């Protein structure tokens, strides 16, 4: 089950991915994240992907080609990812975000735990 909140500690939109998610559901959730950024005015994202299992190549391409473009347009500046525990989820996340690290002004960093991710977001 995916969850979307505002993290008060970091003043960031927080998204939790905690299992396998179907392609269309993933895209819908990713769009909800962008919508929450627009409504809240927050420019930072905190992704807890520790439970992420795997993303299809189609979703990875969509994120790189469509989602990151929109994220730049609405002014997202920082994205902190907590690395998935599952090896397939970790590989999927790394492949998906490899292009994202180079798109526009979004700074992306990867962390092993929540504390380090929050510290980084608070410094930026």
Q: How far is CA 53 from CA 2, 73, 120, in A?
A: 12, 29, 25
CATH code of 16's domain? 3.30.750.24
What is the reported pLDDT for 89? 61
Task: Answer yes or no: is 123 within a domain.
Answer: no
Domain encompassing residue 59 = 3-117
Number of domains in the chain: 1
Task: Answer yes or no: is 76 within a domain.
Answer: yes
Chain segment 75-90, per-residue pLDDT in tens: 999 999 898 766 666 6
Chain segment 108-122, per-residue pLDDT in tens: 988 889 999 999 999
Chain segment 85-105, per-residue pLDDT in tens: 666 666 666 666 654 454 678
- CA geometry: angle 99, 101, 105, nearest 5 deg: 120
For the chain, report the end-to-end CA distance as a whole number of angstroms: 29
Residues 51 and 53: their CA atoms lie apart, in Å, by: 6
Task: Answer yes or no: is 72 within a domain.
Answer: yes
For the entire predicted model, the pTM comes to 0.86
111 forms beta bridges with: 82
């Amino acid at each position: 089950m995916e969850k979307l909140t505002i993290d008060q500690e970091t003043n960031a939109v927080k998204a939790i991915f905690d299992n396998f998610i179907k392609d269309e559901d993933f895209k819908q959730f990713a769009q909800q994240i962008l919508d929450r950024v627009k409504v809240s005015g927050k420019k930072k994202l905190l992704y807890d992907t520790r439970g992420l299992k795997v993303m299809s190549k189609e979703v990875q391409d969509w994120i790189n080609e469509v989602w990151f473009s929109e994220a730049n347009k609405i002014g997202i500046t920082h994205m902190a990812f907590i690395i998935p525990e599952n090896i397939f989820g970790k590989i999927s996340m790394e492949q998906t975000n490899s292009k994202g690290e180079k798109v526009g002004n979004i700074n992306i960093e990867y962390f092993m735990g929540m504390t380090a991710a929050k510290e980084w977001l608070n410094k930026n």
